[in-house]
């Protein structure tokens, strides 16, 4: 979708969108349009239930005396609550409202709203971002779709008196949106298209933006002693890969140690020998969601030229049942030297992350490390589909992550860690076993990961199993891959590490 900014004007063709505050108070642009159309807006509101609630819309078709094909009234809600996330919701609501229309363009008059925490330019930029994020569509495999079933909206112009400042504010936001779209594309692709080798090739495309990419194959990983990651991969015909993506945006920093982001990249997860039920197994194409977020984040950081040193590491495997597959009861030796008894081959993500995290620390010496994984169904039982689970060994890092999530509308909920949970993963024959029972399943998984965090490294684990895929449309996320985590981590970097 093309985004542009301009000075306010009401003589536009296409859809014309104006704001209405909670309680029905018209914005200045809406008032002018109401007069120009002989009171059509007032009459439409009087005959509807539209009262200006946040992100509510009301459409007036073919209004008289104006060039616009339709006027879309957009509720801004309470002014004090109109922050960046709420403003993005307005843009998303507009795109959703125009989804079935034939209008190729929309013009949004983003009048300044009194008593809101946002400046006029920031309001306009965030409305634009919300429109872009909601416009995403993964349709590359729909070969027979009728044109009438496709969205007609191709361009959005956001109008504000401070259009130059809005354009400048939107610049880095647009680059982050490109990273979000890359992640959504990756998690939406089927597993016969995205597998370890092909996903590593996607990582290599970031070199065009100045990202340094290193790819390890199975022989190199075996030489390093990555028995845990390789154990997961051994049942598949698809060969595993470990990829590091490095962005050196602050080469002259006093402390050049990077921030590290580690992603679980299980490109398809059957569960292995501990095979999953057939129902909904197709969803396991996005069990590489953590890796997808890391890849999209690295794209965003590089595209907006973030002044930070960051590295993204993704462990890429496919978990399949075969005559070569890992068995329950096997013991694997990780790169760290610690051993793991494999009780359930469907608890494979922690095995992949164990080696990926250890290698990232050995190779890059990060000052902080954050891993992301669609790790456990238990986190969905605990938090549903509304929050990601946060585990951390550092309170300051946890607080920064929570604040970043709140700022972009990707909420986290901190979960506990402690030695009592460690007892659940004791093994009779190895240093640990890879599951600790049904009770506290997401916590015991995090306890295992914590054993692969080196002394002095601030670490956080985000369990994104419940938020990686949306089963219904959300304010700025259409049904499908969400890319939850890209904007959150970009904001974390912007606020704390640049």
Q: Which residues are catalytic?
A: 276, 350
Q: Per the structure block, which two tokens stand in for 156?
A: 């959005």
The Cα–Cα gap between 103 and 1 comes to: 13
The Cα–Cα gap between 369 and 278 comes to: 35
CA angle 176, 181, 183 (to 5 degrees): 95
Report the DSSP beta bridge partners of residue 18. 73
Pairing of strands 388-392, 212-216: unpaired
Who contacts 480 (Cβ-Cβ below 8 Å, separation ≥6)? 136, 138, 184, 188, 469, 470
Q: Per the structure block, which two tokens stand in for 25?
A: 């108070």
The Cα–Cα gap between 491 and 498 comes to: 10
Pairing of strands 155-159, 2-6: parallel
Question: Smallest Cα–Cα separation from 260: which of 330, 121, 356?
Answer: 356
CB distance 192 to 318 below 8 Å = no
Q: Per the structure block, which two tokens stand in for 479?
A: 């049904």
Q: How far from each other are the two terminal CA atoms of the chain, in whole angstroms? A: 29
Residue-level length of the chain: 498
Say how many C-beta atoms besides its own lie within 10 A of residue 89's C-beta: 25
The Cα–Cα gap between 167 and 182 comes to: 23
Phi, psi (degrees; rounded to nearest 5) at 305: 55, 50
Question: Smallest Cα–Cα separation from 405: which of 82, 54, 85?
Answer: 85
CB distance 127 to 82 below 8 Å = no
With 0-12 CB in 10 A as exposed, 13-18 as middle and 19+ as buried, what is 282? exposed
SS3 122: helix
Pairing of strands 412-414, 331-333: unpaired
Say how many C-beta atoms besides its own lie within 10 A of residue 455's C-beta: 4
H-helix segments, 319-390: 349-364, 378-383
CB distance 369 to 357 below 8 Å = yes
The Cα–Cα gap between 488 and 401 comes to: 8
Q: Per the structure block, which two tokens stand in for 70?
A: 């339709």
């Amino acid at each position: 979708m093309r985004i542009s900014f301009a000075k306010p004007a009401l003589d536009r063709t296409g859809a014309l969108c104006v704001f209405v505050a909670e309680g029905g108070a018209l914005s200045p642009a809406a008032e002018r349009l109401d007069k120009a159309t002989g009171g059509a807006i007032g009459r439409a509101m009087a005959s509807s239930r539209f009262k200006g609630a946040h992100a509510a819309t009301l459409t007036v078709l073919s209004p008289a005396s104006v060039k616009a094909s339709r006027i879309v009234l957009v509720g801004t809600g309470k002014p004090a609550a109109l922050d960046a996330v709420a403003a993005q919701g307005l843009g998303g609501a507009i795109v959703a409202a125009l989804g079935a229309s034939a209008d190729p363009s929309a013009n949004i008059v983003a009048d300044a709203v009194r008593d809101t925490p946002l400046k006029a330019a920031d309001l306009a930029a965030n409305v634009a971002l919300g429109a872009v994020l909601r416009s995403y569509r993964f349709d590359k495999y729909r070969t027979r779709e009728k044109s009438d079933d496709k969205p007609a909206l191709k361009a959005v112009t956001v109008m504000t008196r401070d259009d130059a400042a809005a354009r400048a504010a939107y610049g880095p936001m647009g680059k982050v949106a490109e990273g979000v779209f890359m992640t959504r594309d990756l998690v939406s692709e089927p597993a016969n298209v995205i597998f370890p080798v092909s996903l590593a090739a996607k990582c290599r495309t970031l070199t065009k933006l100045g990202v340094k990419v290193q790819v390890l194959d199975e022989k190199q990983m075996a030489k390093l002693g990555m028995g845990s990651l390789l154990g997961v991969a051994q049942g598949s015909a698809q060969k595993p890969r470990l990829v590091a993506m490095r962005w050196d945006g602050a080469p002259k920093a006093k402390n050049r140690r990077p921030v590290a982001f580690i992603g679980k990249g299980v490109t398809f997860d059957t569960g292995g020998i501990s095979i999953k039920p057939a129902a909904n197994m197709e969803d396991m194409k996005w069990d590489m969601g953590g890796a997808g977020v890391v890849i999209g984040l690295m794209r965003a950081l590089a595209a907006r030229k973030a002044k930070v040193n960051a590295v993204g590491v993704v462990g890429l495997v496919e978990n399949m049942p075969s005559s070569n597959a890992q068995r329950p009861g096997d013991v694997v030796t990780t790169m760290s030297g610690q051993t793991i008894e494999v009780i359930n081959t469907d608890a494979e993500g922690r095995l992949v992350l164990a080696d990926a995290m250890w290698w990232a620390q050995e190779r890059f010496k990060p000052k902080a490390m954050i891993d992301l994984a669609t790790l456990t169904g238990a986190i969905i039982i605990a938090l549903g589909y509304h929050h990601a689970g946060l585990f951390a060994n550092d309170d300051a890092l946890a607080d920064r992550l929570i604040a970043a999530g709140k700022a972009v509308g990707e909420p986290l909920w901190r979960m506990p860690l402690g030695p009592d949970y460690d007892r659940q993963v004791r093994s009779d024959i190895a240093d640990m076993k890879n599951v600790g029972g049904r009770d506290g399943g997401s916590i015991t998984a995090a306890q295992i990961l914590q054993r692969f965090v080196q002394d002095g490294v601030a670490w956080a684990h985000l369990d994104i199993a419940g938020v990686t895929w949306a089963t219904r449309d959300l304010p700025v996320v259409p049904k499908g891959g969400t890319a939850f985590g890209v904007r959150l981590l970009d904001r974390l970097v912007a606020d704390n590490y640049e």
